[in-house]
Amino acid sequence: MQILLRSLPIALLIAVAAGCSDDAGAPGNPPGTCGFSPSGKAGAVTVTPGASVSHAKASITAQNTPELDEKGHLAGPAFGTLRRGSCGDVGLVIKKANGTDTELLYVDAKTAKTEIVEAKAKSIRNTSLFFDAACSPIVVHGTSSKYEQYTRDKGTWSKSVILGDTATVLPAKPTSFQHVASTIGADSKLYVFAKAKVNDKSMLVRGVRDATAAAKWSFEALPGPAATEIYSYRVDAKGNTVLLYRNTKYPCDPCNVDLKLGTLAAKATSWTEVIVQVGHWGAPADAFVESGSLAFDKAGDPIVAAHFVRRGLTGSYKSTELRIYGQKADKWCGETVATTDDSFAGTDGNKFTGSRPKLFIDDADRLHLIFNDLSVWHANSNENAMRGQLRYAIRAGDKWTITTVVKQKGQVASKSPLHGFGNATFAVSPDGKEAIVGGLMQSWETDSIYNSDSKPATVETVSIPLMIAAP
C-alpha cells in the first residue's frame, strides 16, 4: 500500500476510530448533488464469468506489497499489456522464466496459444501491446534511451527501433527517460508516453501512429504538467493530450491533494487544468482521491473513476469507496458506486473498496469498471492493507450492477497466507457484451505487510472471460 504520511514513520501509525466526516465542500463533493447523467439504456445487467485461465505461475519472495506486482509476469495496467483488436482478438504480453533466460511472450487470451516474441528479454515492465487495423499484434518496448517495436509476419516476430535517439525529439539529451503508459486515442490512433528529465525540467514524449498496417511512428516532446502522480494518459478525438493527476509535492503538511484533469491542445505550450475533486487535508479527517482512471463518452466528454479515501490524522484509512465523476452543465458531478468490500474484510471492518479502478465506456455509453477490495487491519499499531479480489461494475441507465469475478479471502478469514490480486486490467468488446479481465493472483506466506526480510509468495497470471447481458 502506498499512502501519504504526516511526517511520521510507518511504525508509528495507530488505529483510528471508525466513522467518517463529511467531505470538503467542492465540485462533485459529496456525490449525487447535481445528478449524474444516465449511462446508455436502462435495464437489467448480468455478468457471467467463465473459467479462469492460468498463463504463468511462479514462486517468489517478497518483503513488501509492491514486490508482489513487480515480480509477477504482467506489467502494470497503464502499459496496456492486455488489449483487444478491432476484429475481436484479445492478446496478453507477459514474461516467463525459461531456465536462465526470460522470455517475452504473446498470448492469445481466448485460446491460451503462446508465441515467443523474444527468447532473451530483459524486462516487461516497460512493454505495451497494440493491434493494427489488420489485427496483427504490435509489441512496443521502451528502454532508458529508445523505443523498440516487435511485429509479427507469417508467424515470425522481428524487432525494429522506432525511436533510436531521444535527443532528436527533446531539446537536449535527457538525464532520464522512461516509458510510462500507452493508450488507444479517441481518434483511434495508437499512442505511447514517456517521462523525460531535460536540464532538470520535466517533459513528456508522445509517440503516435495510425492503426493502419505498417504505419510509421512519430514522436514529439510536450511540456510536462504540474503533476507528481499521473493516473491516466489519454488522447481525445481532437488529438489533445488529457491527463488525470495530482500535484502533491512531498514532504508536505498540509498537502495539496486536489484531483485535476489537465488538457494540452495540439501545439500548445501550457496545460489547461480543472479540478475534478477538491481534496481535504486536516481535521477532522483527510478526504481525497488516491487513484483514478479516465475515459471519454460518445459525446467526447471525460468521465473519471476514482478511489476516494478518508483517513485519520495518523494516515490510517477510515473508509474508502469507488466513485465516478462527470460534467453536467459545466459542473463536475459525482456518484458513489461501492462503499463496502465483498467479504474481503480485515479486522478494521468491511468499509474499504474501490482500489485502483479502471474505466471503459462501450458504444452504448455504458460504464464498465474493474476495481479491487481492500483488507485493512491494525497490528502492533501498524496499519496493514492488502489489495485483493477483483470486482466488475456496469452502469446501465442510472443503476449499477457489481459482480465479484475473482473471489479471495481477506485477512479475517486468512491471517496467513495473505491473498491479493495485482496489476488488474481488462479488455471489453465495443458493444459491451463480452470482456476479458486479467491480473496477478497472489498468495503471500506472512501475516503482516511489514517484514524484516522476504517471505515466500506465489504469483500467477490469469485471465477470465466474461459474458455480459445488457439492454
Q: What is the pLDDT of residue 301?
A: 94
- Of the candidates 202, 199, 237, 239, the one whose C-alpha atom is nearest the C-alpha of residue 222 is 202
pLDDT tens digits, residue range 173-219? Answer: 999 999 999 999 999 999 999 999 999 999 999 999 999 999 999 99
Band (9; pLDDT cuts 50, 70, 90) = very low
pLDDT at 5 over 60: no
Q: Where are the alpha helices (DSSP H) in 391-457?
A: none
Largest CA distance in the chain: 63
DSSP assignment letter at 42: -
Q: What is the pLDDT of residue 14?
A: 29
- Of the candidates 342, 260, 328, the one whose C-alpha atom is nearest the C-alpha of residue 294 is 260
Domain presence at residue 273: yes
Domain presence at residue 1: no
Domain presence at residue 4: no
Q: How far, CA to CA in Å, does 131 sit from each of 87, 138, 191?
A: 9, 6, 12
Q: What is the pLDDT of residue 327?
A: 85
Band (422; pLDDT cuts 50, 70, 90) = very high
Return the C-alpha cell found at 263: 488538457
Across 91-100, 182-191, 235-244, least confident range: 91-100
> Given phi > 0 = left and psi -120 to 50 = alpha, else beta, which region is 380?
left
pLDDT at 85 over 50: yes
pLDDT at 30 over 60: no
Domain presence at residue 7: no
Cα separation, 457 vs 390, whole angstroms:
19
Beta strands in 19-77 (DSSP E): 46-49, 53-62
Return the C-alpha cell found at 267: 501545439
Cβ burial, residue 330 (10 Å; 0-12/13-18/19+)? exposed
pLDDT at 466 over 80: yes
Per-residue b/e over 417-455, b at no fewer than 16 CB within 10 Å? Answer: bbbbbbbbbbbbbeebebbbbbbbbbbbebbbbeeeeeb
Domain total for the chain?
1
pLDDT tens digits, residue range 324-359? Answer: 999 877 788 889 999 999 999 999 999 999 999 999
Domain presence at residue 10: no
Domain presence at residue 236: yes
Residues in contact with 46: Cβ distance below 8 Å, sequence separation at least 6, in sequence order:
401, 468, 469
Write down the mean pLDDT value for the chain: 91
pLDDT tens digits, residue range 348-400? Answer: 999 999 999 999 999 999 999 999 999 999 998 899 999 999 999 999 999 99
Q: What is the pLDDT of residue 388?
A: 97
Q: To the nearest whole percent, how much of the chain has pLDDT over 70? A: 93
pLDDT at 27 over 50: no
E strand or H helix at 66, and its extent?
A: helix 65-70
Q: Which domain holds residue 165?
A: 17-469
Domain presence at residue 9: no
Q: To the nearest whole percent, how much of the chain has pLDDT over 90? A: 81
Band (12; pLDDT cuts 50, 70, 90) = very low
Q: What is the pLDDT of residue 33?
A: 59
Domain presence at residue 319: yes
**CATH number of the domain to which 452 belongs:** 2.120.10.10
Which residues on adjacent β-strands are paired with residue 327?
Answer: 332
